[in-house]
A and B are shown apart, each in its own frame.
Chain A
Amino acid sequence: MRPFTYERAPDALSAVKAVAENPGAKFLAGGTNLLDLMKLDIERPTHLVDVGRLPFAGVEEVNGGLRIGGAMVNSKLAAHPRVRELYPVLVRALVSGASGQLRNKATTAGNLLQRTRCAYFYDTTKPCNKRQPGSGCSALEGVHGAHDAIFGASKACIATHPSDMAVALTALGASVETLTPTGASRTLAVQDLHRLPGDTPQVETDLAPGELITAVLVPPPPEGGQVYRKVRGRASYAHGIASVAVAGGRVAFGAVAHKPWRAAHTEDALSSGASPAEAAEAELSKADRNDHNALKITLVGRLAAAAIEESKTRRVA
C-alpha cells in the first residue's frame, strides 16, 4: 500500500468534485475490493474520498419499480422485503456473491464497479494490460480457462466481470443514476455501464472521471419467472465459472465477458418461440470460440437452457 490521503465527503457534489479534480483520487465505499487491491499494490490511489456514509443507502418505490441507493450494502438489499417480493433474481444473485461478511460491507455501486478476479490481474509479477497498459495479457495463453471471457474479449484482455448482482440487474433492465462533476445527473443502462476491453482494458466503464453512481433504478418486474443460477467450484464464496439470470423474457450471462452479458439473441429466439436450448444456442453460437473454451461455451448453453426452463415454472407473486 502506497501512502495516500483520505477525506470523508460531506455531500455527493463535493465528493464528485474532489475526485474529478484529482487524477490520483478514487471513491471509497465498502472498500471490500479497493482496499484489497491497494494492499496488493494493484490499485495505487493517492487520495481516497469516502462516500460510504453519504445518504444513498435506502430503497424507494418509483413508478412500480425501485430506486436503490448506491451506498446500500448488499446484505441489506438482499433482505429488503420489496426486493424479495419483486426481484427474486436479484436476491439470488446478491446472495450468490462473495461471503456474508463481504456482503455486509459491499455497496450496490461498489459491486457494479468491482474489478475482475482474473488471477493474472492479482499477480503483480505477471504482465496484465489492466494493471499495466501495454504490458500484455498473461491470461491469454494462461492456465485459467474456466474463468476466461467467451464474448467480446480482445487480444489485450480476456478477463471477465465478476459481479453476480450486475447480471441480475442487466436481465431486469436496470439502469444507474450518476452524479457528474458538473453537478448534473444522468442515467445509463447497467448493460451499457461497462465497456468491452478492446485495446484499453484498463478503462472498464463509461463513467467520466469523478462520476459517482448514486442509485440503481430497477423497472417494474417483467412478466414471467425469475431465476439466477451460478456455477462455481464450491458452494459459497467463489467467483463464478458462469452464471445466468432470467427475468421473464430477458436473459443475461455472467462471468463470460468483460461486462454482464445481455443475451439478446437468446431473448429474440425466445420471443419467436424457440425452445430454451435453441434460445441459449442462439447466443452461444456467437461466442468467440477458441481451443480452450469449448467446454465453457457448452456449460453456459446448458446452464442458460436450464435456467430458462426453470423460469417457466416460477412466477413472481
Chain B
Amino acid sequence: MSSVKDWAAPNPITENRGGLIGKGVDRYEGRLKVTGSAPYAYEVEAPSRPAIGYMATASIAKGRITRIDTSAAEASPGVLLVWSHLNAPAQAPRGTRANPRSQRPSNPALASDRIENFGQTVAFVVADTFENARAAANLIEIEYAAEQGVVDFVASFDQADQPPGEEDVHIGDFPAAFAAAPVTVDETYESPVQNHVQMEPCATTAWWDGDKVTVHTSIQMVKGGQHALAETLAIPSDHVHLLTRYIGGGFGGKGQAYDDLILSALAARALGQPVKLAYTRQQMFHGTIHRPAVSMRVRLGAQPDGRLTAFAVEAITHCARNAIFTEHAANFSRNLYAAPNRLTGHRLVKMDLPGAGPMRAPGEAPGMLSLECAMDELAEKLGLDPIELRIRNEPDVDPETGKPFSVRQLVQCMRDGAARFGWERRNPKPGQVRDGRWLVGMGMAAAIRGNFLLPAKAGVRIDADGTITLRQGMTDIGTGTYTILAQITAETMGVPMEQVKVEMGDSNFPPAPGSGGQFGAATAGSAAYEAGMNLRKALTELAVGDPNSPLYGGPAEYVTFENGNIAIENRSETLAALVARAAPEGVYVEGSISPAADARDYSQHTYGAHFAEVGVDTVTGEVRMRKMFGVFAAGRILNAKTARSQITGGMIWGVGTALTESNVVDARYGSFINQDMAGYLVPAHADIVDLDAIFLDEADDKANPMGIKGVGELGICGAGAAVANAIYNATGVRLRDYPMTPEKVLEGMLAVGL
C-alpha cells in the first residue's frame, strides 16, 4: 500500500509543464451537448426501434393492492405488454446479493402487492409509442387497502432512534461546560425535504442479444447499476453491459438503480425488442430518493472572549422504513471549530415516505444551515464580528480526533472573502440599511466538506496515429469529468488536448466508483494519472529498446514527454512515430489508485467562506439576492472553468435551500404536494445576480498524487446559512426554519413591528 509520502515527489501534473492543469479548458463534450448530439440514455440508437414503457404509480402511502384490473389497458391501442405484481417476471427478492462482490443488491420492481410509499411503481405498460403507453397506463384500475403510515416527521420525533451501529460522540463534559458558560446559544433549526430535480429524469434504453443485456441508463455509479440489474435478474454481472455516457445531472439522486433500469431490461427480454423507459417529472419526486428533512439543535457555550467551551450539534432526521439512510447532518461539525467539551450525534425516524438518500453534500448541506447560523447568533451576543468569532475558535489540530490537518485555509478563505466582498460595509446592527423599499443585509458562513479518495482503475492506449484514449468506467454527471480526465491524460503524456480521447460510462471499462461525495475528480483523475504514468513507462521501454528509435539505448530515467514527443535531451521523436513503428497495434496499459495507508493520519477537508448580500422587501417579505461571493480552498484546481461552474452551482443551490426549495408533505396522503418545477422552486436566472467565486492557491500533497481535492459539494455547504444570516442582518428577523419564504419572513417582520 502506498503512503502519502510517495505523493510528495514532483510529477507531470504538479510540474504542469504543458500548462493544461488549472486551465479553463472548454468542456470536452460541450459541443455535442449544445448541439443536441450527445445521446442521453433515452436517446441512444438501439439496434431496432424501441418500444416505450410507462409506469403507473401508487396513490397511497402504505397498504396493499386489493384489486388491479389491467384489461382496459391491455386492449388499448398499441399496447404490447402490461405488468403488475400479479404477472411481472420473477426477480430476486429485494436485498439479494448472490454474488458477495456485488456493489448493489437486487432491487425488484412490481415484487408484491405491498405499497411502501406513495408513488411506488404498481404497474407497467409497454406500447409502440409513449402516448399509447401513457394512455393505457391511465386505464388501469387499482383498489387499495390503505394503512396508516408514519408520514409526519415533526409529529414523529418520539419514534426517533439512534441510527443502526452509531453512537453519539462525547468529548469532555458538555453538560457541565454548557451550564457553566457565561454566554450561550440554544436553538433548533429546521430544514425540509428537498428534491434533486435533475434536468434529465432517470431513464433507460435496454436490449438483449441472446442471454446478455445492454442497458444505456442515467446513473452515477456504473458498477452499482450493473450489479443491481444482474442481481435483480439473477444473471451473472458480465451478462449486463451497462453504459451511461451522458448524464443530465445526478446530485446524488442517481447513485442507485431504479425501476426504469429493471423494468426496461425485463420488458426488452419478454418482448424480444429494445424497450426504453423514463420517469416523468412528477414520478421523479416520489419514485426516486430525496434529501430528508432535518431538525437540528445547536447548543454553544462561550467565554466572553468568544472561545467556545461547550459545543453540541444534534440532528433528527428520517428515512424510509425499509431503506435505512442517515443524513449525517452533525458530522461536519466534528472537524470545524475548537471546543473542549463536545457532543454530536444523530437520531433517525423510520417513515413511510419514499426513500431518503444522498443529495449534493449529504450531511453538510442541511447540517451547516444550523451551526453556521448559531455562530452568527453567538457572535451577536458576544458583540464580535462573525469572522472574528470563527477565527478565535480556529483549531490547531482536528478538534475531535486531534489529528493534524493536511492543509486548512479556512481563515484565509474568510479573510480574503471579506476583503473582496466588502464585508467592512456590513453594519453589525441589524435592520439599519435601506435601499428604497428594501432592507439590505449581509451575512457570511464557513464551508467545510470532507475529501475522499477511493480505489479506482483506468486504462489508456495509444494508437499508431498517436491518439491517446483514456477508458474508465467513470461517469460525468455534468460536472466536467470528461474534460479534466482529458487534461490529466494530456498533461501526463505531454501531448496537446486534441490528441486525447476520453471514453467512459461503460461497465466493460476499468472500474471507477463513479460520481458522488465530491470524490470523482480525485479518484478517477488519480487513476487516469497512474495509467498515464504506466503508459510513459511502457513507451520509454519501447523507445530505448528499439534500435530504430533516436532514444535507443538511452537512460530511461532521462526520458521526457513534451509537445507530443518522447525525448532524451536533444534526441526525440513523436509518440505517433514511435508507436507506428515499434507497436503498430498500439499500446494499452492500466493504472490504479487506492487510498494511502497513512491518509487517515490527517484530517483532510475542503474549506470555504460564503458571503451574501440580500434585499428584503419591507412590504412583502420577499428576499432577493443582491450579491454573493465565495472563496474556497480545495487543493490544486484542475480546470478553472468547470471548477467555478461547480462551486457557483453549489452556491446557487444554497440560495434555493435558503429561500425556496421544499417538498411539503401532506400528511393526509403521505405525499409531497409539489411535484413539478412550477411548484418545487429552484432559483431561476432572475434570482441570481452578481455571484462569483474564487479558489485559493493550494495543493494538498496528502490527498493524492496530484494534490487535488473535490469541489462538487463544497459550494453548497454553508451557502444557505450565509443567506439566512444576511436576512437577519437586513431585518433583525431571525428565522430558523428553511426555506425562508415571503410568508415566513413577513410573519417575522410583523412580529418585530416591521
Chain A residues in the interface with B (C-beta under 8 A): 1-3, 39-41, 99, 117, 119-120, 122-123, 125-126, 138, 141-146, 229, 231-239, 241, 295-296, 298-299, 302-303, 305-306
Contacts and interface: CB of A to CB of B under 8 A. Distances in A.
B102 interface: no
Contacts, number: 103
Given A143-B664, A231-B622, A241-B743, A122 B675 contact: yes
B282 A40 contact: yes
Contacts of B668: 138, 141-142
Given A122-B676, A238-B684, A241-B742, 10 more contacts: A40-B282, A126-B669, A141-B668, A142-B666, A143-B673, A235-B686, A235-B687, A238-B681, A239-B678, A295-B746
Contact of A2 (B118, B138, B282, B681): B138
Contacts of A303: 619-620
Given A122-B679, A231-B742, A143 B138 contact: no
B741 interface: yes
Contacts of B619: 302-303, 305-306
Contact of B742 (A3, A119, A125, A299): A299
9 closest pairs, A vs B, by CB? Answer: A125-B59, A236-B686, A235-B686, A236-B684, A306-B619, A231-B620, A235-B687, A119-B673, A302-B619
B660 interface: yes
A298 B619 CA distance: 10
A233 B671 contact: no
25 contacts: A2-B135, A3-B77, A41-B138, A117-B678, A119-B673, A119-B674, A123-B673, A123-B675, A125-B59, A125-B118, A125-B671, A144-B673, A145-B743, A231-B622, A233-B660, A233-B681, A233-B742, A235-B624, A237-B684, A241-B742, A295-B743, A298-B750, A299-B746, A303-B619, A303-B620
A16 B105 CA distance: 59
B445 to A, nearest CB: 21
B683 interface: yes
A234 B77 CA distance: 43
Chief secondary structure at chain B's binding surface: loop
A123 B676 CA distance: 10
Contacts of A306: 437, 619
Nearest to B624: A235
- Interface hub of A2, A120, A122, A233 (most chain B Cβ within 10 A): A233
Interface string B663-703: 01110110101111011010111110000000000000000
Interface residues of B, number: 41
B679 A119 contact: yes
Given A143-B666, A234-B660, A1 B135 contact: yes
B747 A234 contact: no
Nearest to A99: B684
Nearest to A236: B686
Given A2-B138, A234-B681, A123 B671 contact: yes
A1 B131 contact: yes
A232 B678 CA distance: 12
A40 B135 CA distance: 10
Interface of B: 59, 77, 118, 131, 134-135, 138, 282, 437, 617, 619-622, 624, 659-660, 664-666, 668-669, 671, 673-676, 678-679, 681, 683-687, 741-743, 746-747, 750
B620 A299 contact: yes
A42 B208 CA distance: 37
A44 B123 CA distance: 22
A225 B617 CA distance: 21
Nearest to B684: A236
A144 B684 CA distance: 21
Contacts of A120: 673
A298 B687 contact: no
A233 B659 contact: yes
A290 to B, nearest CB: 15
A236 B77 CA distance: 41
Contact of A302 (B77, B620, B666, B669): B620
Contacts of A2: 135, 138
Contacts of B660: 233-234
B635 to A, nearest CB: 34
Contact of A234 (B131, B659, B666): B659
A120 B671 CA distance: 11
B684 A299 contact: no
B620 A125 contact: no
Given A234-B684, A236-B687, A3 B135 contact: yes
Contacts of A141: 668
B747 A295 contact: yes
Contact of B683 (A3, A145, A234, A305): A234
A166 to B, nearest CB: 18
A311 to B, nearest CB: 14
A165 to B, nearest CB: 17
A298 B746 contact: yes
Nearest to A298: B750
A3 B139 CA distance: 12
A119 B686 CA distance: 24
